[in-house]
């Protein structure tokens, strides 16, 4: 067993064996929808994991490719009637892949670049300046032709950067409006902090308007989601410990997050650090405090701050790491329904991933673009004025696909819409 590249999955045998091969998950799986191959489906991947553990298959480049095409969207968990927990299976498999499989030079280079920049806001700020200077020119076909294909999504997906967006800073403490209901720690994120500082500012304003004192510790780092979802568990554990320590010091009642992928990872800290006696209990206590911002607002009950009218058709896009991974679907809709004048419009194939999926749209650009095109198109068919969602990756992915297709709707974070409704700022 020691030479078996899949040996670390042995503790998950019971999870794998829960799969009864019924295939209900197949139509829900975006990679299967695109390729039509069993090997790119949840059932096929679980079969490959078991075959690897039993020594019936090796970790060949082809086998790895089928794990790499998994978006980690967890639509299969939602669809599975047998309650198969796919998340720990794919996370452990990805860790095994990174330990036992040697990637090509280009793949290694890209992954190194991503892991050494995305979790570090100060490094990302440096990368933001070329984006600012190039402006929309960075998407010109002439410039893109000069860039190796593998690296083009870094330019096409990157957000529009302005001096204002780069200099947005969330206050370390935002006092509650009126009587204080709770003390909330705000996770400011990495991509969110660098490129969507205005979303963090809006989050602090909305929570404060609803009676929360908001604490955004300036020393906080990355939550580790990027590493956790890409097979870099040790890196994720290091970030997790630091995050727990920071928010313990802040002495908050709950920890709020406005990025679905980060929230889903932080709710898993208890599991991630379960074998570390010094941290297991602290990680579990932290995870139990984590709330997505819409989850927290719904938990606070009916809106306290008056909402201004917004006459708009709004399509809500369920981020996979909010809907599938955290089961949070109703709360965002509930808080949106408190905005007078707003019409929530239904969207077809709402359970299918937009193709963002952490770094998937950077590592698997062809599949991600196709999923982005499909998502932008079904959103367009719903004829919305605005598309709102709860994850910066989804915003960038849908914006990019909508721009390419010439769709006119704007894509916003849900708190930007709530903030506009509370402050009366024009949003259309
Ligand atoms: S739906 Fe669940 S039990 Fe059925 S094949 Fe998929 S993972 Fe296995
Ligand atoms: S996580 Fe998403 S892409 Fe991966 S197997 Fe499940 S449904 Fe398919």
Mind listing the pLDDT tens digit for each residue in 257-270?
999 999 999 999 99
Q: Among 15, 23, 31, 89, which residue has the most ligand 1 atoms within 8 Å of its CB, making it the best to mutate?
A: 23
Distance 300 CA to ligand 1 centre (A): 36
Helices 42-53 and 86-100, axial angle in degrees (round to 10): 50
Q: Which fold has domain 7-100?
A: Fumarate Reductase Iron-sulfur Protein; Chain B, domain 2 (1.10.1060)
- pLDDT over 90 at 418, yes or no: yes
Compute the distance between CA of residue 306 and CA of residue 393 in angstroms, rounded to an integer: 30
Q: Residue 164: what pLDDT?
A: 79
Centre of ligand 2 from the C-alpha of residue 236, in Å:
21
Q: What is the pLDDT of residues 153-205, one digit of tens each?
A: 888 888 888 887 777 889 999 999 999 999 999 999 988 888 889 999 999 99
Q: CA-to-CA distance for 63 and 137, rounded, in angstroms?
A: 39
Assess whether pLDDT exceeds 70 at residue 1.
no
Q: Which of 5-14, 70-79, 85-94, 141-150 shows the lowest per-residue confidence on average (mean pLDDT)?
A: 141-150
Rg (C-alpha) for the chain, rounded Å, is: 21
Which residue has a Cα nearest atom 4 of ligand 1?
Answer: 22
Ligand 1 atom nearest to 24, measured from its CA: 1
**Cβ–Cβ under 8 Å, residues 342 and 372:** no
CATH pick for 167-299 out of 3.30.70, 3.40.50, 3.30.420, 3.40.1000: 3.40.50
How many CB atoms are closer than 10 A to CB 212? 27
Return residue ranges of the chain for CATH 3.40.50: 167-299, 307-423
Q: Could you report the per-residue pLDDT of 298-330, keeping only the tens digit for each?
A: 999 999 999 999 999 999 999 999 999 999 999
Per-residue pLDDT reduced to its tens digit, 144-164: 888 888 888 888 888 888 887
What whole-number distance in Å separates Cα of residue 367 and Cα of residue 373?
10
CA angle 55, 71, 100 (to 5 degrees): 35
Q: Which CATH architecture has domain 307-423?
A: 3-Layer(aba) Sandwich (3.40)
Kindly state if the Cβ of 158 falls inside 6 Å of ligand 2: no
**Cα 235 to the chain's mean position, in Å?**
18
What's 180's DSSP letter? -
- Please answer whether residues 227 and 321 qualify as being in contact, where contact means their C-beta atoms are separated by less than 8 angstroms: no
Q: Whose CA is nearest to atom 5 of ligand 2?
A: 42
Ligand 2 lined by 70 (C-beta under 6 Å): yes
Atom of ligand 2 minimally distant from the CA of 25: 7
Q: Would you give the distance in Å from CA 56 to the centre of its chain?
A: 34
**Alpha-carbon distance 17 to 63, whole Å?**
20
Question: Does 415 score more than 80 pLDDT?
Answer: yes
Q: What is the pLDDT of residue 20?
A: 98
Measured at the CA of 322, the angle between CA 370 and CA 367, to 5 degrees, comes to 15
Question: Taking all residues of the chain, what is their mean pLDDT, rounded to a whole number?
Answer: 94
- Both tokens of residue 264? 């889903």
207 vs 378: CA distance, rounded Å: 32
Spell out the residues 6+ positions from residue 285 whose beta carbon is closer than 8 angstroms to its own.
none
Whole-number Å distance, alpha carbon 191 to ligand 1 midpoint, is: 34
Could you give the residue range(s) of every CATH 1.10.1060.10 domain in the chain? 7-100
Residue 78 pLDDT level (bands cut at 50, 70, 90) = very high
């Amino acid at each position: 067993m020691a030479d078996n590249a899949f040996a670390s999955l042995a503790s998950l045998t019971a999870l794998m064996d829960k799969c009864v091969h019924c295939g209900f998950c197949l139509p829900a799986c975006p990679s299967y929808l695109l390729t039509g191959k069993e090997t790119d489906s949840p059932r096929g991947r679980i079969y490959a994991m078991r075959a690897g553990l039993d020594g019936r298959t090796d970790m060949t480049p082809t086998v790895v490719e089928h794990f790499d095409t998994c978006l980690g969207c967890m639509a299969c968990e939602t669809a599975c009637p047998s309650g198969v927990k796919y998340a720990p299976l794919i996370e452990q498999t990805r860790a095994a892949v990174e330990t036992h499989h040697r990637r090509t030079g280009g793949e290694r280079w890209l992954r190194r670049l991503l892991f050494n920049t995305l979790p570090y806001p100060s490094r990302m700020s440096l990368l933001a300046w070329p984006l600012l200077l190039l402006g929309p020119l960075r998407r010109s076909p002439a410039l893109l032709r000069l860039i190796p294909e593998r690296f083009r999504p870094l330019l096409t997906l990157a957000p529009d950067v302005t001096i204002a967006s780069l200099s947005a800073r969330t206050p370390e403490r935002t006092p509650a409006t009126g009587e204080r209901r709770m003390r909330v720690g705000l996770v400011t994120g990495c991509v969110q902090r660098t490129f969507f500082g205005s979303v963090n500012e809006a989050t602090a304003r909305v929570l404060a308007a609803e009676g929360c004192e908001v604490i955004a510790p300036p020393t906080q780092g990355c939550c580790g989601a990027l590493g956790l979802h890409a097979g870099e568990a040790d890196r994720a554990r290091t970030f997790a410990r630091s995050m727990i320590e920071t928010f313990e010091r802040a002495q908050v009642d709950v920890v709020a997050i406005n990025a679905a992928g980060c929230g889903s990872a932080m709710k898993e800290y208890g599991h991630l650090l379960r074998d570390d006696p010094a941290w297991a209990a602290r990680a579990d206590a932290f995870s139990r405090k984590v709330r997505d911002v819409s989850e927290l607002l719904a938990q606070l009950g009916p809106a306290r701050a008056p909402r201004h009218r917004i006459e708009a058709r709004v399509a809500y896009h369920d981020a996979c790491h909010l809907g599938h991974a955290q089961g949070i679907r109703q709360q965002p809709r509930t808080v949106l329904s408190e905005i007078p004048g707003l019409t929530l419009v239904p969207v077809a194939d709402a359970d299918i991933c937009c193709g963002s999926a952490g770094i998937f749209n950077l590592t698997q650009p062809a599949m991600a673009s196709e999923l982005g095109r499909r998502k932008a198109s079904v959103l367009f068919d719903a004829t919305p004025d605005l598309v709102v969602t709860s994850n910066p990756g989804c915003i960038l992915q849908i914006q990019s696909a909508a721009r390419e297709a010439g769709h006119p709707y704007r894509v916003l974070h849900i708190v930007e819409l709530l903030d506009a409704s509370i402050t009366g700022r024009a949003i259309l």
